[in-house]
Structure 1
Amino acid sequence: MDDRSIGLGRDIHRLFEGRTLVLGGVVVEDSPVGFDTHSDGDVLSHAIVDALAGAIADGDLGTWYPEDDPDAEDARSLGFVEGMMRVVRGRGWELEHLDSFVTLGTVRLRPWIDRMRANVADALGVPAERVSVKARSNDGLGFEGAGEACSATTVVLLRRTGARG
C-alpha cells in the first residue's frame, strides 16, 4: 500500500487596478491591484486546492468548485481549501507538508506572509510548521514580474492515515 502521495497545483490571474488582492485569505491592504474573478481570486488557495486534488488523483479546482456554480460567486477561496481538505481526510489522507510560491513583482508581499501561513494552516487543520509560503518578484520578468498577473505554485505531501473513504 502506498503510504504517501504528492500533488502539484498552479494558478494565475490577471490583476486590475482598484480591485482587492486576496492571497492565502489575507487582504493585502496596500495593494493598488487585485483580481477580477468569479470568487475572491485567491491564487494561493486555488493552487492549494489543485495540489490536494492532484494528490488524491481526483480532478482540480474546476472539478470541485466550477465557475458556473452560483455558490462560488464572490466566494472566499480559503473555504475551498477547507472543503477540499475534508475530502482528502475522508479519503484517508493527512497533510504532511505544503510548500508554495506566490509570484508578483509589483507588490511587496513579505509583510503578509506570516498571516497567509497561519490562515492556510488553519484552513488545512494543521500546525503552521507544516506550511511554507514564499514570495517572489520574478525580477520584472513575465506577466507576474510586470505586475500584470499574480501566480501561485504549490506542492503538497500527504500521508495515508489508514482510514479510507
Structure 2
Amino acid sequence: MDELRTGIGWDIHRLVAGHRLVLGGVEVPAPAGFDTHSDGDVLSHAVVDALAGAMADGDLGVHYPEDDPEADEARSLDFVVAFAARVRDRGFEVGSLDSFVVLGTVRLRPHVDAMRANLADALGVPLDRVSVKARSADGLGPEGRGEAASASVSLLLRPLVGRPDGG
C-alpha cells in the first residue's frame, strides 16, 4: 500500500500601518501589512509548516530561522518552492492542500485565485489540488479587528508517480 502523509500548518503575524500585506505571494492592497523580517506571508509560512509536519521534518523556524540574514526581506513563496523540492526529493508530492486566510478588515476574495495559482506553481502541482478560502472572523479576535492576519493549512502528501521504488 502506498504511504500517504498529512500535515497541518498555522501562522499569525501582527499588522502594522505602512507595511506590505503579502498572502500566498500576492501583494494585497491594504493600509497595514506584516511587521516581520521576511515578507511575513502567513499563508506561505503555514504551507511550509504543513509540508514539514507531513515529512516529520521540523517547522518553518528550523529551516528558515529568524536570525538567518538570508531571511531578511525574503519572499516567503520562495520558501514554499524550496520545501516542495525537499518533499519531492523524499519521494512525495502534494495530493491536495486546503487553507484558510483570516483577516476581517481587507477583502481577500478578489485575490484568492492568484494565491491559489502562486501556491500551485510553487508546489509544482495542478491548480485543482490547491484550495484557498478567506474568512473575516466577523470582527472577532485580532484578525477580525485587523490587528493581525492568520492562515491555517491542511494537506495530503502522496508518493510521486513513477518514483524509482515503483511508487
TM-score between the two structures when normalised by the length of structure 2: 0.95
Q: Give 1:3 deviation, angstroms.
A: 1.2
Which blocks of at least 5 consecutive residues in structure 2 are unaligned? none
Alpha-carbon separation, structure 1, partners of 2:90 and 2:108:
34
Letter in 1 for 2:141: G
Superposed CA deviations along residues 21-80 of structure 1, whole A, max 9, x for unmatched, are: 000000002x10100101000000000000000000010000111111111100000000
Letter in 1 for 2:94: L
**Structure 1 segments of 4+ aligned residues over 4 angstroms from their partners:** none
Match of 2:53 in 1: 54
Q: Give 1:163 deviation, angstroms.
A: 4.8
TM-score between the two structures when normalised by the length of structure 1: 0.96
Match of 1:20 in 2: 20
* Paired residue secondary structure (1:80): helix
* Paired residue secondary structure (1:147): coil
User: Is 1:115 equivalent to 2:120 in the alignment?
Assistant: no
- Mark the CA change 1:147 to 1:163 in structure 2 (over 3 Å): closer, same or farther: farther
Q: Give 1:112 deviation, angstroms.
A: 0.4
Alpha-carbon separation, structure 1, partners of 2:57 and 2:128:
26
Letter in 2 for 1:24: G
Alpha-carbon separation, structure 2, partners of 1:8 and 1:2:
20
- 8 A Cα contact 1:8 1:155, kept in partner: yes
Letter in 1 for 2:86: V
Superposed CA deviations along residues 117-165 of structure 1, whole A, max 9, x for unmatched, are: 001111001111100000000000011001100000001100122458x
Identity %: 67
Q: After the TM superposition, which residues 15-164 of structure 1 pair with which residues of structure 2 at under 5 Å, given as runs?
A: 15-29=15-29, 31-161=30-160, 162-163=163-164
Alpha-carbon separation, structure 2, partners of 1:68 and 1:14:
19
Paired residues, number: 163
- 8 A Cα contact 1:120 1:131, kept in partner: yes
